[in-house]
Amino acid sequence: MRCLNKKGVILAETIASVILITFVFVTTITIIINARYQALATNKEIVAVEVATRIRDNIVNDSNYNSVSNWLGSEDISFTQDMCSTENPPFSCDTMVFEIDGVEYSNTITIVIYSQTTDDLRFGVINFSVTINYYANRNIEIIGIIYEE
């Protein structure tokens, strides 16, 4: 085998190695950044689940079946903190006010109380959900049930 350049590395080899090192570096940085964003989103999800669970429990504990059933009517009712006072639900609008670690969650909470189906009426239950948008386009939904006593 005959060596064409006895003085060292040729320009093409240098460019190829720079491109390869750049590719590895960019890939590594991208993986690290994505892992960081995923970790942040996971932490926010944990807090959002806690907030939604507290809201669900407050609604279940502060409401009774008859008052919610009379208020509900025949259509689903969906509302946010801003709409709460106009919808006049049979539970306190303060239920939707949460601030944890300096993050205000009341703007990201949506409560939907579902109209009663035939089975719901037969078993004496009212279904509702609490949805929180906790990170970019990520939502969690916690389902709750109000029972007839």
Supply the pLDDT for residue 136: 83
Whether the full predicted model's pTM is greater than 0.95, yes or no, is no
Q: How confident is the model at residue 7 (pLDDT cuts 50, 70, 90)?
A: low
Helix (H, G, I), strand (E, B) or coil at 89: coil
Supply the pLDDT for residue 17: 92
Compute the distance between CA of residue 72 and CA of residue 116 in angstroms, rounded to an integer: 9
145-95-112 Cα angle (round to 5): 45
Q: Give the Å distances, CA to CA, from 12 to 3, 7, 19.
A: 15, 14, 11
Helix (H, G, I), strand (E, B) or coil at 128: strand
Q: Which of 3-7, 45-49, 74-78, 138-142 has the lowest mean pLDDT?
A: 3-7
Ranked by mean pLDDT, the top range of 5-19, 21-35, 63-77, 88-102 is 21-35
Which tens digit of pLDDT belongs to each residue from 83-123? 887 888 888 888 888 888 888 888 899 999 999 999 999 99
